[in-house]
Structure 1
Amino acid sequence: MRPATHAFLHDNLWHLLRRQAVPGILGMLIVSINSLVDAVFVGRWVGPDALAGLVLVFPLTVINSSLVALLSAGFSSVASRSLGADDPARQRDLLNLLLTLSLVLGGTVSLLGYGFARQAVALLGGTGAVLRYGAAYYEILALGGFFTLLSLSSSTLIRATGQIRQAMTYSATAVITNMVLAATFVKGLHMGVRGAALGTGLAMLLYCVLNLQHLLRGRTALALGPVRPYFNWPLTREIVGIGSSAFLMQATSFVRQVLIFKSVAHYGTAAELAFFGAVYRVYGFSQLPVFGLLQALQPTVGINHGAGNYLRSQQAVRVFRLAGIGLLFLVSLPSLLFPAQVLDLLLPATTFATTDLAQFRMLMLVLLGTPLASTGYVYFQATGQARLATTLSFGREVLFVPLILLIPRFLGLPGIYYGLALENVTYALVVLGVTTWSFRRAEEPVLQAQGA
């Protein structure tokens, strides 16, 4: 058994968390920076119409990110469980299947995106210069769809073995490359929005090369075979089944944001919309450290579950859950103690009403409970409980829509804050309850064996 796998099976869970979580958190911060690179450079060096074109294209990028979530969740679960079970035959063609699926899905997105870029941006409301900039940007971005999908998904195979530090290093290299290339193409070579998209595409190509050389040169615990054309329908069905919950959550995220902001615009003024936008950004950014923790939790649960250490995989969820709540408390503390000063960073020279600050504090308090849901959700994915994970994802959307649409009808703008808070608390408690039930169900055969 590889030393890294041995550590996941036997090391103290708190020590394991500390070693794995730090690079995971840093990796999430790096990725969040990368999402701003093109917008910053285009807005500064091309102009507001070009920036508006990029913003308008954002919903189209959700297509690729949803496919990344689908493949990443499925492959990471299979990979980590096969490591724990010490099953090299199951690992052999994981990369080959990933290459095949990435080529099919990424190629389809690239062809459709490039061929219908102008129509898609027009459908989203682009006209005139905004339409031209948006279409030009998305045409080049779509051509690199295969490399984007493969690079982000192949990184999952590295993280699934616990090599989160190496995955972070490669992603940091890609981000720095994107910054340099985008600045060179946009500012130095005057290529405008096409230069920004080209820089992103080349950075994803480099990211692909770094990940693939790591996997193919035997630097991973996975027993991968040589590259060859490969497709396996039962394995694909398992991967898609597990990843469908992540796909659904990612795909509906944009719809959620549209409903939320349309409701705020309907019930509030322009100033209240700006305030909510600032609150939502702080709320979203504060969750990033927990996403880093979840990257470390997935292989910990998957490897132990694959090895039959069901009780240890459950204990890992409890440890990471407590760590997530504690980390979020530290991250949220400035917002809870000094809400006006935090929001002033995004809305300078603004006077905030007491009720607005109270609603901001309420959402930041609710944020502390999100690890109750997220750790359980990762547990279901990592252990291959596809149907349960998908049901919970779909159930959240069923809960979300009536809360956001109905409560504001009675309470006005504050109802949106209360609706979001109620949805998050309810979902966290439901997932916690289902997770506890799943733990007890998994414990029964273990306890029976011990009693025998």
Structure 2
Amino acid sequence: MNTQAKAPSNPAIHAPALATFTRYVGASVIGLLALTGAAIVDGVMVGKWLGADALAAVNLLIPLWILLFGLVLMLAIGGSVVASRYLGAGHNTAASKVFCGSLTIAGVGGAVLAAVIGALHLPIMTLLAVPESLQTMIKPYLLIVLAGLAPQYIAVVLYYFLRVAGQPQRASRALVIGALVNIILDVVLLGWLHWDIRAAALATLVAQLTQCALLVGTFKRAPMPLRWAPTGLTPRRLAQFCANGVSEFVNEVSAGLILLVIHWLLSRQYGVAGVAGFALIHYALLLNIMLACAIAEVVHVLVSQNRGAGQWRRAKIFFRFGMSLAVATGALLWGLSHWSSAALSHWFFRGGNAAVYAQDFWPVIAPVFLFTGANLVLSAWFTGLQQPGRSAFIALSRSLALPLVFLWILYFWQTAHSFLWALPLAEAATLAMALLLKAQQSSAWRLNTTPK
């Protein structure tokens, strides 16, 4: 497919550090928000034009989408980290084999998962705690979006490998165009033509197909060190790739499980209006996660390539850039949540119980913004060094283990909404442990490099 014989100089290891970081982060933020923006766009449009019940219905499926996205993210990030190290060391053929194997598994795996979930959609909706009154509404939405799962999986893998191959801006451009298609179709079908919830699913499907087609075209045309090199991928090699991306999988799957638990608790205490009210908070958290992930993914790409090139000092510089930007971004979102949450809640829901619940939830959840970015960048540092154990520990702590512990403890507290404090407490405790791991690693490096 890609026949270019000579690849350009690799900016990740040769270009000025600050300019390189800025270029990669800009493309990563735009691309990742575009890649996962369909959930936010659909939710906002559905909530605005179809009401709280439809919004609750869409959000009850989010744990499933998080699980499915986590699977391909584990493969794409794990494989791209390995390929990135090969590229940094100049082994382009080996990197191309990793790319080809990852892309093939993504396409086949996405098609198989879509077929299985489509066949088992009724028990899956029951598992997601979807009320019977909403199942009729959700079913067509679910089946339409599943039709785009395989193209979405292919697009995710292409996006991550194009980034490590030195084409982050072209990859992001393809995703942005797909996201714009999603927004335009949502506005036309929901806002102007007043279609039902199936319109949001159709907009998502068309956006996924558009992104996949544009990314395939980018790979064919753009000059890069990767090429199409069909090769068999053994289960052992697949496991190695996935091990490098296991922290991202843990982050995604754990977030889905915690969201499912929160939906269950909210439904018990406040009904469908509580679930709808938390949906607005969840979209803000999703935006925060996407910005933090965009920064973290740049860190692990640049750290892994410079590690492969033996440039440890440069790798540490990129880590510091990532931490500084993540902390600053989190502080900005925290401030915005305090200044605009009340007005946003009432504008979105136009009154009603859902607006009241959303306004009450904001102050409890807002501290999450202060810690998430730093945790994800620390996890990405260990991912870039191919230390999946430490990276997964951070991911598991912040997104599953500690939230479950705090949810269990705080659910029996008598204060209103007290169980929601589990999320900021888990992030804060994880940050303390992650900083300790980083300090231990730095101390070990100093001991190993000190002259005897």
TM-score range, shorter chain: 0.7 to 0.9
Q: Any conservation in 1 of the 2:78–2:245 contact (CA below 8 Å)? A: yes
Aligned to 1:249: 251
Residue type matched to 2:256 in 1? F
> Is this contact kept in 1: 2:83–2:99, CA < 8 A?
no
Of residues 9, 23, 27, the one that matches 1:19 is: 23
Matched, 1:203 2:207: yes
- Which SS does the other structure have where 1:113 is aligned? helix
Is the counterpart of residue 163 in structure 1 residue 201 in structure 2? no
User: Structure 1: which 5+ runs fail to align?
Assistant: none
Distance in 2 (CA, whole Å) between partners of 1:338 and 1:35 is 22
Say whether the 8 Å CA contact 1:82–1:90 is kept in structure 2. yes
Matched with 1:431 is: 434
Kindly state the Cα deviation for residue 189 of structure 1 after the two structures are TM-superposed. 9.3
Contact 2:128/2:260 (<8 A) preserved:
no
The reply to whether residue 212 of structure 1 matches residue 216 of structure 2 is yes
Does the aligned pair in 1 maintain the 2:52–2:273 contact within 8 Å?
no
Structural mapping, 1:407-426, within 5 Å: 407-410=410-413, 412-413=415-416, 415-426=418-429
Aligned residue runs from structure 1 range 5-404, under 5 A: 5=10, 7-31=11-35, 33-39=37-43, 53-124=57-128, 130-181=134-185, 193-194=197-198, 196-220=200-224, 222-226=225-229, 228=230, 230-263=232-265, 278-336=280-338, 340=342, 345-346=347-348, 360=362, 363-365=365-367, 367-396=369-398, 397-404=400-407
Query: How far, CA to CA, are the matches of 1:144 and 1:269 in structure 2?
Result: 32
2:372 maps to a residue whose letter is T
Q: Secondary structure at the match of 2:227?
A: coil
Structure 1 residues 160-180: Cα deviation after superposition (integer angstroms, max 9, x where no partner): 234322222000111123344
Asked if structure 2 preserves the Cα contact closer than 8 Å seen for 1:53 and 1:134, the reply is: yes
- Aligned alpha-carbon RMSD (Å): 3.7
Is residue 97–residue 231 contact of structure 1 (8 Å, CA) maintained in 2?
yes
Secondary structure at 2:61's aligned position in 1? helix
CA distance in 2, matches of 1:283, 1:195: 25
TM-score, structure 2 length as denominator?
0.82
Aligned amino acid, residue 377 of structure 2? T
TM-score, L = length of structure 1: 0.82
Structure 2 unmatched runs, 5+? 1-5
Distance between the aligned counterparts of 1:434 and 1:26, measured in 2?
31
After superposition, the Cα gap between the structure-2 partners of 1:195 and 1:342, relative to the gap in structure 1 and judged at 3 Å, is closer
SS in 2 for 1:412: coil
Maintained 8 Å contact 1:24/1:168: yes
Q: Is the 8 A contact 1:245 1:393 kept in 2?
A: yes
Contact 1:310/1:443, CA 8 A, preserved across alignment: no
Report the AA paired with residue 151 of structure 1.
A
Mapped to 2, the partners of 1:194 and 1:214 lie a distance apart of 30
Shift of 1:235: 2.5
Determine the C-alpha separation between the residues in 2 that align with 1:46 and 1:366.
Answer: 29
Q: Matched residue pairs, number?
A: 442
- Offset at residue 344 of structure 1 (A): 5.2
Q: 3-state DSSP class of the match of 1:175? A: helix
Query: How far, CA to CA, are the matches of 1:277 and 1:139 in structure 2?
Result: 22
Q: How far has the Cα of 1:97 moved from its partner?
A: 0.4
**AA of the residue aligned to 1:26:** I
Deviation, 1:304, is: 0.7
Aligned-residue offset at 1:155: 0.7
**Following TM superposition, by how much is the alpha carbon of 1:443 offset from its aligned partner in structure 2, in angstroms?**
5.2
Instruction: Give the % identical residues.
Output: 19
> CA offset at residue 44 of structure 1?
7.1
